[in-house]
Amino acid sequence: MRVQMPTHSHSYSLLTTLCQGRGILSAFIVAQSLALIISFSIDDSSAFWLTLGQVSLLAQFITSLSIALLYLLSRTKLTLSNLTQLICVVCVLVCTTFITASYTAYLGDFGASYGTWFVLKSCAISLVVAALFAQFMAIYNEHANTHSAFAKAQLDALQARIKPHFLFNTLNTVAELAHQDADAAEDAALALASLSRAALHAGEDSTLEQEIALAKRYILLEQWRFGERLHLDWQLPESIPNTAMPCLTLQPLLENAVYYSMQGEKGDSTIKVELVETQKTVTVVVQNHINETSIESKQGNGIALGNIAQRLQLKFGDAAQLHTRKLANEFRVKLVIPRGRVL
């Protein structure tokens, strides 16, 4: 079963959006549509295909050159307002059209008057199309940024929901240890302080290595609580991949595994944590024994997997996945994140 996630969102600007896959495709579609309209407007139907080929070649060349120039502009460190970016788009397209049309008229050996009219007409068409297209992209950007702000607010709400839950459970562990072993309670309090700092930074980014270290500190707390009943089988490579991920992602998965594997059980329980690498992704699998009686009576407890799934989606989009699978007496969670992804 794959946990459902909401739509992913980013921060947008006009130039960056235009130079991404969807913006480039839209620009080429608009250019080809314009070539079709111009070709249909000629009186000589026998020359339709020849005209379409020539106009399409000219339109696509101008579009390609303009996008290349705008991409170089977007890679600069200059901070440009949306209005300035819109003006840049229009100016680059019109200037590119002027240069290309002038050179085409020169190669085609047009007459002076016809060549001038061809250049002016081409520039006028480019001006109108660039203004309309840039305005459309600006509207799209405004909508995307609004959606991004909503997603950010949603992410903050999800992360705020994690903090009190996490601190409540770990404080309960320290309280129980205080009645059993004062020295262990002191050590657990220090471990809790480290975990609490992570909880205070739940809205920030972390790395896979830091998340594993945090999860091990949490397991140390739980092993003080459950003693030899709780076993961890860490199957990790010698070198942990330098992969970015949201803070407090792995610890809630292990907390969920500990809760459902230990509730009501008198015997031992083993939780297996396995890390698998590929060229593009890193997969973490958490597998634990489940107690049917505990699950049926305590479904409201434990961290919600849907919460973790939503946070991953808001950070990575479809590049991250969270799958769950319930077997006869085991529960498995598989977390897939993009390798080397910089947030």
Go through the domains of the chain in sequence order and give each one's CATH number.
14-146 (no CATH), 180-338 (3.30.565.10)
Residue 213 has pLDDT above 70, yes or no: yes
Is 202 a residue whose pLDDT tops 80?
Answer: no
User: Residue 284: which of 195, 204, 215, 222 has the closest Cα?
Assistant: 215
Greater pLDDT, 193 or 235: 235
- 139 forms beta bridges with none
- Tracing tokens 């809790």 back to the chain, one arrives at 192
Q: Which residues, in sequence order, are CB contacts of 139 under 8 Å at separation 6+?
A: none
* pLDDT-wise least confident of 92-106, 208-222, 296-310: 296-310
**Higher-confidence position of 87 and 300:** 87
Query: What is the average pLDDT across 301-325?
Result: 76
The pLDDT-based confidence of 7 (bands split at 50, 70, 90) is very low
d(CA 318, CA 177): 42
Q: For residues 84 and 209, give the distance between their C-alpha atoms in angstroms, rounded to a whole number.
A: 42
* CA within 13 Å, CB half, 248: 30
> Span 259-273, mean pLDDT?
77
Burial class (CB in 10 A: 0-12, 13-18, 19+), 56: middle
| Contact indicator for 3, 325 with CB cutoff of 8 Å | no
Closest C-alpha to 98, from 65, 122, 127, 129: 122
Q: Which residues pair with 2 in a beta bridge?
A: 323
The C-alpha atoms of residue 120 and residue 157 are separated, in whole angstroms, by: 55
Count of CB atoms situated within 10 Å of the CB of 246: 24
Q: Is the Cβ–Cβ distance between 66 and 98 less than 8 Å?
A: no
Stretch 267-296: mean pLDDT? 82
Confidence band, pLDDT 50/70/90 cuts, at residue 169: low
pLDDT at 280: 87
How many residues in the chain? 343
Predicted confidence at residue 106, as pLDDT, reads 76
Contact 97, 123 (CB under 8 A): yes
Q: Which are the contacts of 25, defined by CB distance < 8 A and separation ≥ 6? A: none
Which of 327, 268, 263 is CA-nearest to residue 291? 263
Q: How confident is the model at residue 284 (pLDDT cuts 50, 70, 90)?
A: very high
Contact present, 240 and 210 (Cβ < 8 Å): no
> What are 107-116's pLDDT values in tens digits?
765 555 567 8
pLDDT at 135 over 50: yes
Q: How many helices (H) and strands (E) does the chain have?
A: 10, 7
Considering the chain, what is the average pLDDT of its residues? 76
Percent of the chain with pLDDT over 70: 74
| CA dist., res. 105 & res. 101, Å (int) | 6
Coil, strand or helix: which one is 246? strand
Tens digit of each residue's pLDDT (9 = 90 or more) over 236-257 = 998 888 888 887 788 888 888 8
Which pLDDT band, with edges at 50, 70 and 90, does 214 fall under? confident
Dist CA 325 CA 320 (whole Å): 17
Strands 230-235, 244-246: parallel, antiparallel or unpaired by DSSP? Answer: unpaired
> Could you give the CA distance from residue 14 to residue 223 in angstroms, rounded to a whole number?
53
pLDDT of residue 282: 92
